[in-house]
Amino acid sequence: MAKIIPFKAVRPSADKVGLVTCRTYDDYNSAELAAWLSYNPYSFLHVIHPAFANAQKITIDKRFKSVAHKYQDFKDEQILIKEETPVFYLYEIQTKSNVFSGIIAGTSVEDYKNNVIKKHEDTLQFRVELIKDYMKYTDFNAEPVLITYPDSVEINTYISLRKKSKPLYEFATTTKEKHTLWKIDTQSEIDWLENHFEKIPNLYIADGHHRSAAAELLLDENKGTKNENLKSFMSFLIAESNVKIYEFNRIVRDLNGFTKDDFIAKISQYFNIENKNQELWKPKNKYEFGMYLDGSFYALFYKQENIHKSEHFEIENLDAQILYDTILHPLLGLEDLRNDERIDYVSGKQSVSVIKDLIDEGEFKVGFMLYPSDISEIKALADNNLIMPPKSTYIEPKFRSGLVVYEL
pLDDT at 14: 95
346-382, pLDDT tens digit by residue? 999 999 999 999 999 999 999 999 999 999 999 999 9
Closest CA to 371 of 304, 280, 288, 272: 288
C-alpha 221/C-alpha 13 separation (Å) is 34
Q: Is residue 236 part of a domain?
A: yes
Asked which of 183, 217, 242 is the last residue of a domain, the reply is: 242
pTM of the entire structure? Answer: 0.91
The pLDDT, as a whole number, for residue 58 is 72
CATH number of domain containing 387:
3.30.1760
211 and 311 in a common domain: no
Residue 405 lies in a domain: no
Q: Taking the alpha carbons of 366, 343, 28, 167 in that order, is the dihedral positive or negative?
A: positive
> Is 344 domain-assigned?
yes
Domain co-membership, 75 together with 219:
yes
The answer on 193 and 309 residing in a single domain is: no
Give the structural domain span for 317.
247-392
Same domain, residue pair 236 and 279:
no
The residue among 242, 275, 310 that closes a domain is 242
Q: Is residue 397 part of a domain?
A: no
- Count of structural domains, the chain: 2
Domain shared by 67 and 177, yes or no: yes
- pLDDT value of residue 62: 87
* 403 located within any domain: no
Tell me, yes or no, whether 184 and 311 share the same domain.
no
- The verdict on 189 and 317 lying in the same domain is no
The answer to whether position 170 is within a domain reads yes
Assess whether 86 and 220 both reside in one domain: yes
Let me know if residue 66 belongs to a domain. yes
188 in the same domain as 264: no
What gap in Å lies between CA 210 and CA 213, rounded to an integer?
5
Phi, psi of 330 (to 5 degrees): -70, -35
Q: Are 232 and 263 in the same domain?
A: no
Does 397 sit behind a cis peptide bond, omega within 30 degrees of 0 on the bond before it?
A: yes
| Per-residue model confidence (pLDDT) at position 221 | 95
How high is the pLDDT of residue 307?
72
| Per-residue three-class SS string for the chain | CCCEECECCEEECCCCHHHHCECCHHHCCHHHHHHHHHHCCCCCHHHHCCCHHHHHHCCHHHHHHHHHHHHHHHHHCCCEEECCCCEEEEEEEECCCCEEEEEEEEEEHHHHHCCCEECCCCCCHHHHHHHHHHHHHHCEECCCEEEEECCCHHHHHHHHHHCCCCCCEEEECCCCCEEEEEEECCHHHHHHHHHHHHCCCCEEEEECHHHHHHHHHHHHCCCCCCCHHHHEEEEEEEEHHHCEEEEEEEEECCCCCCCHHHHHHHHCCCEEEEEEECCCCCCCCCCEEEEEECCEEEEEEECHHHCCCCCCHHHHCCHHHHHHHHHHCCCCCCCCCCCCCCEEEEECCCCHHHHHHHHHCCCCCEEEECCCCCHHHHHHHHHCCCCCCCCCEEEECCCCECCCEEEC
216 in the same domain as 308? no
Question: pLDDT value at position 309?
Answer: 63
Same domain, 79 and 15: yes
- What pLDDT score does 186 carry? 97
**Which residues of the chain register pLDDT less than 70?**
51-57, 308-313
What pLDDT score was predicted for residue 189?
Answer: 98
407 inside domain: no
Of 196, 219, 242, which closes a domain? 242
- The whole-number pLDDT of residue 75 equals 98
- List C-alpha distances in Å: 181 to 166, 213, 215, 309: 9, 27, 25, 46
